[in-house]
């Protein structure tokens, strides 16, 4: 009789240990996914911040260029319109899906292309290229483009870490249950293997 009780206690103990270990694993896995998801969201905020910095520089840049090249109306309006479109596409960190992300990236690429056209125009105006205000804005814009590249890369890194975590077995069995899904990456545009060069 005692032997039966001992076996029962051992079995119950093993079950309790298994349940406790399972709970610990679930808790650890869930907390890891939450931490990595929050890291992606925080890095997304940094990406938005540097893109906003670029957008904030553009009105002053356009005004300086307008002072020397006011008849380049079409190019200047192109930059202003591209800026308006880029700043109108906002994505909440918790809504980073492939479609909204593609819209954001497309709007930002439109602004980059408009700035490239403006650079071509600036080449025709030596006095503008020597203007002190313009030189300062140029330096700030170049620095911002570099920051954009760095923050995008950081975003891709933390996103890769998160996506890998939720796709690995056995995490993938529970990620959907916990409400976690893969987040999109920044992809280089074709022919854009290097960062946009803002050189006047």
Q: What is the pLDDT of residue 193?
A: 42
How do the domains of the chain map onto residue ranges? 2-178
Q: What is the pLDDT of residue 149?
A: 94
Q: What is the pLDDT of residue 114?
A: 94
| Ramachandran sector of residue 195 (left: φ over 0; alpha: ψ -120 to 50; beta: rest) | beta
Per the CB < 8 A criterion, the answer to whether 43 and 119 are in contact is: no
CATH code for the domain defined by 2-178: 1.20.1440.20
Q: What is the pLDDT of residue 200?
A: 41
pTM: 0.81
Q: Which of 61, 77, 69 is nearest to 141 (CA)?
A: 61
Taken in order 50, 53, 59, 63, is the CA torsion positive or negative? negative
What Å distances lie between residue 140 and 57, 137, 147, CA to CA?
8, 5, 10
Q: What is the pLDDT of residue 14?
A: 73
CA distance 47 to 51: 6
Q: What is the pLDDT of residue 4?
A: 73
Q: What is the pLDDT of residue 12?
A: 76
pLDDT tens digits for the chain (200 residues)? 677 777 777 777 777 766 766 667 778 889 999 999 999 999 999 999 999 999 999 999 999 999 988 888 899 999 999 999 999 998 888 788 889 999 999 999 999 999 999 988 898 899 998 899 999 998 999 999 999 999 999 999 999 999 999 999 989 988 988 889 999 999 865 444 444 444 44
């Amino acid at each position: 009789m005692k032997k039966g009780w001992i076996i029962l206690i051992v079995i119950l103990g093993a079950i309790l240990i298994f349940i406790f270990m399972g709970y610990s694993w679930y808790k650890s896995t869930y907390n890891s996914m939450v931490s990595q998801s929050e890291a992606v969201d925080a890095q997304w905020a940094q990406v938005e911040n540097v893109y906003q910095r670029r957008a904030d520089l553009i009105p002053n840049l356009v005004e300086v260029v307008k002072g020397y090249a006011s008849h380049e109306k079409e190019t200047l309006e192109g930059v202003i319109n591209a800026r308006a479109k880029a700043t109108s596409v906002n994505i909440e960190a918790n809504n980073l899906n492939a479609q909204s992300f593609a819209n954001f990236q497309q709007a930002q690429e439109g602004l980059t292309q408009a700035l490239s056209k403006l650079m071509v125009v600036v080449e025709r105006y030596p006095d503008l290229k020597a203007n002190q205000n313009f030189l300062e804005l140029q330096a700030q814009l170049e620095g911002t483009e570099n920051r954009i590249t760095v923050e995008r890369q950081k975003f891709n890194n933390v996103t890769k870490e998160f996506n890998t975590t939720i796709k690995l077995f056995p995490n993938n069995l529970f990620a959907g249950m916990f409400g976690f899904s893969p987040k999109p990456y920044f992809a280089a545009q074709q022919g854009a293997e290097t960062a946009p060069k803002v050189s006047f």
